[in-house]
Amino acid sequence: MTEVTASELVAIAEGRGAVAVGIADAAPFPEVTAELQARVDAGLSGGLGFTFRDPVRAGDVRATHPWARRFVAVAVPYPMTAPVGEGAVVARFAVGDAYASLRRCLTAVADRLRRAGHRAEAIADDAALVDRAVAVRAGVGWWGKSTMVLVPGLGPWVVLGAVVTDAALPTTEPMRRECGRCVACLPACPTGALVAPGVLDARRCLAAVLQRPGTIPVELRAAVGARLYGCDDCLVACPPGRRALARAAPVAAHDVIGILGADDRSLLVRFGHFYLPGRNLRTLRRNALVVAGNVLGRDRVAIVAGFLGYPDPLLRSHAAWAVGRIGGRVARAALRHALRSERDPGVRDEIESARGREVPVRAPAASTLPDMGSTSSGASTRDGAAGS
């Protein structure tokens, strides 16, 4: 057994790709628990589980790791990409498996701590803990008004994680930086989900909406645009991240028809690193149908209409919306035909409403979206919705 120093752990993390490393006390985050609870009470969690499921546990690692004394927090960047061509788009953190490299980095740190006789556990993409608050306390980055943690040189283009340990390591100071007068992320949001600096209404954040199971609210479907998974708009607008963004490599958008036609096995090979509860692909197919409604022309409507006979009513209802949005003679005939045999009242409503939509609507500006709730103040987290 060999003793381990903080600088050795930093070197190990940096050797595995970390761009920022810090050490924080593992004391609770009462302000985070209070903020999460306030947002749940105000309805701003949008039904998301993640840290909202148990705000006390999310703000206190000792609830699950009573021996915890320190966090070794890290930020790991992921390759910058720029989507090209027409089709479905995936947020940059999910183009590859950003969390795989983060886990490798954290595992190396945890292994070294254990070799020194300490308890240590890697926490990556564990929605039960507020990894952003840990990163800020450890000085890995600062809270942006977008609710993302911003890291010098990379801005929001990182994934965050930590090793929790019982080692009494020296702690590092929080960063003395903030966004200053910049507010670029707020108007950049296509749905107005950033309702105030640092306050996210998860009900209308597209990154959250596309992860959440169930029906995508009708009033948000046009704003989904070509997004299959995740949303990068507030990150793209963020000046501290622009240098990283300038190094983006082009990546072809996904063929949405190909996704709709693919079987489970091939979808899991391509998208198995997405957050898909129970490895169930219905949210991915639901998203693809909404994208199809937004991006496909009338010559492709028959393929989308095929989902009007799908066994899952969730997909039938989103298919009805997509077919209605694409519009045209074939769409009208398909909806009329589907209505004759449809028994599910919710799907029938969707078909009726799609039939009533003669002219496809375009994405509404944020200001035209309905007011979906009041705001609260203070820092907030996006909870797995945007990659860290």
Q: Which residues bind ligand SF4 (CB under 6 A)?
A: 144-146, 150, 179, 182-185, 188-191, 193-194, 200, 205-207, 231, 233-234, 237-240, 386
C-beta closer to ligand SF4: residue 237 or 305:
237
The nearest distance, CB 19 to ligand SF4, in angstroms, is 17
C-beta closer to ligand SF4: residue 198 or 327:
198
Q: How many H helices and E strands in the chain? A: 17, 12
Q: How far apart are CA 44 and CA 42, in angstroms?
A: 6
Q: How far apart are CA 193 and CA 122, in angstroms?
A: 31
Output DSSP code: residue 194: E
C-beta closer to ligand SF4: residue 18 or 195:
195
Please list, in sequence order, all residues whose beta carbon lies within 8 angstroms of the beta carbon of residue 154, skipping any fewer than 6 positions away.
19, 75, 77, 240, 241, 244
Residue in the block written with tokens 């992921």: 78
C-beta closer to ligand SF4: residue 190 or 327:
190
Q: What is the DSSP string of 212-259?
A: SSSPPPHHHHHHHTTEEE---HHHHT-GGGHHHHTTPEEEEPB-HHHH
The nearest distance, CB 264 to ligand SF4, in angstroms, is 27
**Backbone torsion region of residue 214, taken as left when φ is above 0, otherwise alpha when ψ lies between -120 and 50, otherwise beta:** left
The nearest distance, CB 223 to ligand SF4, in angstroms, is 8
C-beta closer to ligand SF4: residue 130 or 386:
386
C-beta closer to ligand SF4: residue 188 or 339:
188
Q: Which residue is nearest to ligand SF4 (CB)?
A: 144
The nearest distance, CB 178 to ligand SF4, in angstroms, is 8
C-beta closer to ligand SF4: residue 319 or 386:
386
SS (H, E, C) 133-191: HHHHHCCCCEECCCCCEEECCCECCEEEEEEEECCCCCCCCCCCCCCCCCCCHHHHCCC
Q: Angle of helix 313-326 relative to helix 282-295, nearest 10 degrees?
A: 10
The nearest distance, CB 267 to ligand SF4, in angstroms, is 23
C-beta closer to ligand SF4: residue 191 or 283:
191
The answer to whether the beta carbons of residues 102 and 126 sit under 8 Å apart is no
Q: How far apart are CA 337 and CA 121, in angstroms?
A: 56
The nearest distance, CB 192 to ligand SF4, in angstroms, is 8
The nearest distance, CB 334 to ligand SF4, in angstroms, is 31
C-beta closer to ligand SF4: residue 193 or 320:
193
Helix (H, G, I), strand (E, B) or coil at 124: strand
Helix runs in 264-380, H state only = 264-271, 282-295, 301-305, 313-326, 329-341, 345-355
Closest CA to 349 of 375, 313, 381, 383: 313
The nearest distance, CB 51 to ligand SF4, in angstroms, is 16
The nearest distance, CB 372 to ligand SF4, in angstroms, is 12
